[in-house]
Amino acid sequence: MSGRIRAALIGVVMTVVVLIGAGSARADLLADKYGAFDTDDGWQVALYKTDEQLNRWPNLAATAFSREAFISMKAMARIGGKGSAPVLAGAVSAGIQIGCQIDVSSGMTIGTALNLGLNLGANGSLTISNPPAVTLGGNGGANAGVGPTISATLRPGTITSLTLDTKPLASAYGSTHLRELYVKTDGCGGYVSIRTFASVQVATPNANDSYSIFGDPTWL
């Protein structure tokens, strides 16, 4: 391959990378979700996921392999009816799932001759933060309270689930409302998918019941 052709190909590749990383902020309003069930003890439990909004932003570092967005959602649970045994405990949770299609953290090859030489670490990564900052930590599948920073490793072809907040039910109703939660992925190429969920757990002397509802999948 001549130097002129190679230079032209590199120019085309870098133009595509810049165009992928560029763009303007975009906000999506996602559909509300609802579900209900009866516990073995006869309690009627309703679960809602509402007010979901995903506000995408162009990456601050202008790279095609990092994504940034702000997400808001509300999870609510209500217990009604007349059960045969008292409710001892309950909780409502809100969470998020992230899917990374291609891991480019160890370098990305386009075609047979061009290597962008990226070195972003061993795996792709996910960071979720919500000021004020109080470190609660976290990893894939971790539970955390309203939190400042939750990190996880993203692996290609896998889905990472994180519970972002859990509110114990002190009465027949409880909710958790997450507003403008900052979400960032690094080292992921191709399609980065995102889906929220809400869960409820109810415990009586006789049984434990749990239930989850999921939002519509979208892209980050």
pLDDT at 25 over 70: no
Question: pLDDT band at residue 65, thresholds of 50, 70 and 90?
Answer: confident
Buried b / exposed e over 114-142, threshold 16 CB at 10 Å, is eebebebeebbbbebebeeeeeeebebeb
| Percent of the chain scoring above 70 in pLDDT | 69
Whether pTM > 0.85 for this model: the answer is: no
pLDDT at 36 over 70: yes
CA nearest neighbour of 102 among 118, 82, 84: 118
**Can you tell me the mean pLDDT for 80-108?**
82
Cα→Cα distances 198→43, 62, 178, Å: 19, 33, 12
Which of 63-77, 137-151, 195-209 bottoms out in mean pLDDT, i.e. has the lowest?
Answer: 137-151
In which domain, by residue range, is 100 found? 3-219
58-61 long-range contacts (CB < 8 A, ≥24 apart) are: 58/21, 58/22, 58/23, 58/24, 58/25, 59/21
pLDDT at 144 over 80: no
pLDDT at 116 over 50: no
Query: Across the chain, what does the average pLDDT equal?
Result: 75
Question: pLDDT band at residue 4, thresholds of 50, 70 and 90?
Answer: low
How many structural domains is the chain composed of?
1
Backbone dihedral angles phi then psi of residue 194, each to the nearest 5 degrees: -145, 140
**Can you tell me the mean pLDDT for 135-149?**
38
**Tokens of residue 146, six digits:** 């309203």
Tell me which of 168 and 103 has the higher pLDDT: 168
Tell me which of 15 and 158 has the higher pLDDT: 158
pLDDT at 37 over 80: yes
- The pLDDT value recorded for residue 136 is 27
Tell me which of 180 and 158 has the higher pLDDT: 180
Question: pLDDT band at residue 79, thresholds of 50, 70 and 90?
Answer: very high
- The pLDDT value recorded for residue 27 is 79
- Burial (CB count <10 Å: 0-12, 13-18, 19+), residue 198: buried
**Can you tell me the mean pLDDT for 145-169?**
76
Buried b / exposed e over 204-214, threshold 16 CB at 10 Å, is beeeebebebe
Contact by Cβ (8 Å): 183, 69: yes
Task: Give the domain CATH number at 176.
Answer: 2.60.40.1650
